[in-house]
Structure 1
Amino acid sequence: MDVAVILLTLVGLMYFAYRGVSVLVLAPVLAMAAALLTSDFPFLYALSNVFMPAAANYIKLYFPIFIAGAIFGKLMGASGAARTLSRSIIQYLGTKHAILSVVLATALLTYGGVSLFVVVFAMYPIGAATFRAAGIPKRLLPAAITLGAFTFTMTALPGSPQYLNTMPTIPFGTTIYAAPLLGLLAGTMMLVLGIFWIKYRAQKAMNAGEGYGEHEDNGKDAQDNAPTPSFLMALIPILLVFAINFVLTNIYFKSPTVIAEYEALDTRVNGTWSVIIALAIAIVFMLVAYRRYLFEANKHIFDGSVGSLLPIFNTASEVGYGAVITALTAFIAIKAGIAAIEIPDLFKVAITSTSLAGIIGSSSGGTGMVLAMLGNDFLNTGIHPEVLHRVVLLAAGGLDTLPHCGAVITLLAVCRLSHRQSYGDIAVVTMAIPLLSAFTVIVVHLSTGLV
């Protein structure tokens, strides 16, 4: 019966999140309901002594990376640097390679550290104009944007400064470059198969006589006439993030002297520090170099800071819910059931991670929950920590984009398209192909030991 209660609250989390109920309210209410119905401990104890400490600890660990990433993305968008980079790539490749150009431009921004939502707003007008010029159905544009933003740059490519890639670094003691060969394999699969699918769908539609279609938008960027940095100037902040992060991660924080200094303080190097410092330096560069493009710099910093609050509090709330569920006696039975499945432990990791991400409709929420609930258990299996890092993320980037996913809903709203028009292709490039890539990586690692 208690197991059914846990499943009921998970289904409730998925259903009410899809109906638009805020996770900030939903997660603590369902956590208390689970405690009340199982009678393991008082529901107010669940709120104050289990939920809140777990949520607060998550914020303590990850708030710096959230706020740095949000301000960086806001400045890249407000200065026009994001538009410059995406427009330049699309112009260089031309309408003949419209799909590839939209995907690569989106991927550059995402892998460069620009937040996913900023990328969506920056890419839509440029991508729409490109698809219109190439005669490609607009309904395929969301799939192209999600392929570049929600897949390989977020979960697979080593070194990605996206906050999702920093989350396993603390519990697993890894860096954002974890399992580079496996990550590159998965990333290549997602990119190649995703491009192939969208091009196949576009060619099929165009052969049937379908063009861009009649839409209210005109595909024109409303800020086309606003001054923007040159391509090189726009690229410098991204290069700074790459270079500084690489040096700090692979040289400075691996120095025996630095390691010993932190060990003397009874702690260890935090995998998010390199990214935080890199983003901070890039932010300072933009504030100085982009003064003529940032007319309200203080406002942009404020907006970016405030914009970081909802994502981190949403995820922290989901982590708090996961902590309460983990504390229930019935969860022991669930863990025992998962452990009894006669499959390699890495497959169990992937199944758990993608299931939780799917229920919540969020890769970061699913990752936060799986790390809080089962992170230590996974480490105790003896799996290489770097492989755990990469597999958890690859799997979380699978079912996270079910129809109730907030990022998908936002993207479709921005593109002025419906689930009926575009979701099928989004599902293929953000769920089917990433899950295939995740399980391929597992098979390759188990067969060869590749990391």
Structure 2
Amino acid sequence: MGLFGILLALALLMWFAYRGWSVLLLAPAAALIAALISGEPLLPHWTSTFMSGTARFVAQWLPLFLLGGIFGKMMDDSGSITSIARFLTEKLGVKRTMLSVVLASAVVTYGGVSVFVAFFVLVPMAREMFKAANIPTRLMPAAIGLGAFTFTMSAMPGTPSTNNAIPMPYFGTTTFAAPGLGIIASIITLAFGLWWLARIEAKARATGEGYVDDEDGAVLISEKVREQATVSGDFDPNELTHGQRSDTAPSFFFAVLPLAVVIAVNFLMALVVLPRIDFSAAEAALGINISSTIGVWAVLIALAAAIVTAIAVNYGRLGSLRESLDAGANSAVLPIMTVASLVGFGAVVAAMPAFAVVRDAVLEIPGGPLVSLVVAMNSLAALTGTASGGMAIALDALGSEYMRLAGEYGINPELMHRLTTISAGTLDALPHNGTVLLLLQISKQTHAGSYFDMVMTVIVSVIISLVAVFILGATFGSF
């Protein structure tokens, strides 16, 4: 009965979340259902097990969500995202519309801007380009998705995304883990995705299908899509209307400068500065393992430096700095509480006696710990519809076991980090994924018209790169 309770609770959680119910309500309710069917005490699991798991995630990741939200809002309100997208599209021209849209999406998200912030700038830009090139608008989500939430979220070394950050405390790694494998995965994902986009564009032209103006007023994000989106993202879309967006945009140099600061400072802090500092006295005094948090600190310092840079070079364009800062900070609250609630649900499930059966089954999957890791991340990301949430649940329950197996099998934790991030970024983009739903709504497209091509650019392309990284990592180790 205990195993049935876990499966039923998970099914109810996912079904009602897909219907737009708040995970803040669903996660504790589903956790209590699992406990009830398992014959476990309800109130202790709610107020202790569930809340401990939730609080642990908030305590660990609130600074990242907070700084990420503020940085995204500064880049948006200053007009920097618009400047970057316009520069790339103008330089590459109408004949390279697909490449322009993909690269513009990739540059801003690799630099640390939330995909939810980027969508509201990239979609209008892409629409203009598609109109000039006479390309069907139904292909926009596939192009934007390829650049915005595939390799820049999970594979490129140094990306400060939440997806790339979550494995760090568990594996003692940094965002630059397994850089060679990450670059290879990025190249494969990008190459396959661009090939597919070129193929479908050529097919559309051959059949005489072109641009049709389907714009019918302002985009209104429904409360249902907002709830679904915050499960898989790190920015509350409602906060995009707060603050004041600049009427003018900075030059490309000043627009891209904060993004360059993120990557450069993150690299210096993670691989040069922080590893050379002796934290032994602080570790002894505070009773914590600082070495496992160096990667997190590096990202926080990088984002803080980038925020200061963005404000300094755009101060005159930020008409209401306080309101923009407030909106950026507020944008972090709902997403982190939503994901943290999923982690709390996972903590209750992991405390059920029947979970031992699930744990043993996962860890004993034929092929060794790397196969087990890939299967676990793909499965939970698919079920939850969120890479970060699925990853956090899996690592919270099994992270220590994977580190133990890494030691037994002589596996570099950096390889586990990179396989974790890429694996979680594959089947998370199923139809119920909040990022997919938000992009389709902003683009005013439908699953029927756009989703198949999205599958090819944001799922199949990443799966191909995952297979390549797995084979290379299993053969040559981490590099």
* 1:398 aligns to 2:420 (yes or no): no
What residue in structure 2 maps to residue 160 of structure 1?
159
261, 285, 302: which is aligned to 2:309?
A: 285
What residue in structure 1 maps to residue 474 of structure 2?
446
* 1:348 aligns to 2:372 (yes or no): yes
* 1:21 aligns to 2:24 (yes or no): no
State the number of aligned residues: 446
Q: Distance in 1 between matches of 2:441 and 2:42?
A: 38
246, 250, 258: which is aligned to 2:278?
A: 258
* CA positional deviation for 1:48: 0.9
CA shift in 2, pair 1:122/1:10, >3 Å: same
Q: Please say which of residues 10-19 and 188-197 is displaced more in the overlay.
A: 10-19
Q: Distance in 2 between matches of 1:92 and 1:217?
A: 29
| Matched AA of 1:248 | M
CA shift in 2, pair 1:51/1:133, >3 Å: same
Q: Deviations over 1:163-214 (max 9, x none)?
A: 2211111121100101111111111111110111111111111111100123
CA shift in 2, pair 1:210/1:243, >3 Å: same
> Within 5 A, what are the aligned runs for 1:140-159?
140-159=139-158
Q: Distance in 2 between matches of 1:145 and 1:259?
A: 43
What residue in structure 1 maps to residue 300 of structure 2?
276
| Matched AA of 1:250 | L
Q: Answer whether contact 1:14 1:359 (CA < 8 A) is retained.
A: yes
> Within 5 A, what are the aligned runs for 1:207-356?
207-216=206-215, 226-255=247-276, 257-265=277-285, 266=287, 267-269=289-291, 270=293, 271-356=295-380
* CA positional deviation for 1:313: 0.7
* CA positional deviation for 1:388: 1.1
Q: Please say which of residues 209-218 and 344-353 is displaced more in the overlay.
A: 209-218
Q: Distance in 2 between matches of 1:9 and 1:350?
A: 23
CA shift in 2, pair 1:284/1:51, >3 Å: same
Q: Answer whether contact 2:67 2:304 (CA < 8 A) is retained.
A: yes
CA shift in 2, pair 1:13/1:289, >3 Å: same
Q: Deviations over 1:228-252 (max 9, x none)?
A: 1111111111111111111111111
Q: Distance in 2 between matches of 1:340 and 1:243?
A: 41
CA shift in 2, pair 1:285/1:342, >3 Å: closer
What residue in structure 2 maps to residue 182 of structure 1?
181
Q: Distance in 1 between matches of 2:413 and 2:335?
A: 26
What residue in structure 2 maps to residue 135 of structure 1?
134
Q: Answer whether contact 2:5 2:35 (CA < 8 A) is retained.
A: no
Q: Distance in 1 between matches of 2:92 and 2:328?
A: 32
After the TM superposition, which segments of 4 or more aligned residues of structure 1 sit over 6 Å from their partners? none
Q: Answer whether contact 1:240 1:278 (CA < 8 A) is retained.
A: yes
* CA positional deviation for 1:404: 0.9
* 1:113 aligns to 2:112 (yes or no): yes
CA shift in 2, pair 1:59/1:218, >3 Å: closer
* CA positional deviation for 1:340: 3.2
CA shift in 2, pair 1:214/1:228, >3 Å: closer
Q: Distance in 1 between matches of 2:368 and 2:398?
A: 16
Q: Distance in 2 between matches of 1:109 and 1:216?
A: 25
What residue in structure 2 maps to residue 421 of structure 1?
449
| Matched AA of 1:278 | A
Q: Deviations over 1:32-72 (max 9, x none)?
A: 11000111x21111111111011101110110011001100
3-state secondary structure, aligned to 2:278: helix
What residue in structure 2 maps to residue 8 of structure 1?
8
| Matched AA of 2:203 | K
TM-score by length of 1: 0.96
| Matched AA of 2:471 | V
Q: Deviations over 1:326-383 (max 9, x none)?
A: 1111111112222333222211111111111111111111111111111111111123
What residue in structure 1 maps to residue 95 of structure 2?
96
| Matched AA of 1:440 | A
* CA positional deviation for 1:259: 4.0
Q: Distance in 1 between matches of 2:255 and 2:381?
A: 34
| Matched AA of 1:376 | S
Q: Which runs of 5+ in 2 are unaligned?
A: 219-243
* CA positional deviation for 1:225: 9.5
* CA positional deviation for 1:124: 0.5
> Within 5 A, what are the aligned runs for 1:355-374?
355-374=379-398
What residue in structure 1 maps to residue 224 of structure 2?
none
What residue in structure 2 maps to residue 385 of structure 1?
413
TM-score by length of 2: 0.90
* CA positional deviation for 1:289: 2.2
Q: Answer whether contact 1:398 1:434 (CA < 8 A) is retained.
A: yes
Q: Answer whether contact 2:9 2:34 (CA < 8 A) is retained.
A: yes
CA shift in 2, pair 1:297/1:73, >3 Å: same
> Within 5 A, what are the aligned runs for 1:51-130?
51-130=50-129
Q: Distance in 2 between matches of 1:380 and 1:224?
A: 49
| Matched AA of 2:189 | M
3-state secondary structure, aligned to 2:354: helix
Q: Deviations over 1:248-304 (max 9, x none)?
A: 11111110x434454444431422111111111221222232122110111011111
Q: Answer whether contact 1:347 1:439 (CA < 8 A) is retained.
A: no
Q: Distance in 1 between matches of 2:278 and 2:114?
A: 31
Q: Answer whether contact 2:79 2:245 (CA < 8 A) is retained.
A: no
3-state secondary structure, aligned to 2:432: coil
Q: Distance in 1 between matches of 2:281 and 2:174?
A: 19
Q: Answer whether contact 1:252 1:258 (CA < 8 A) is retained.
A: no
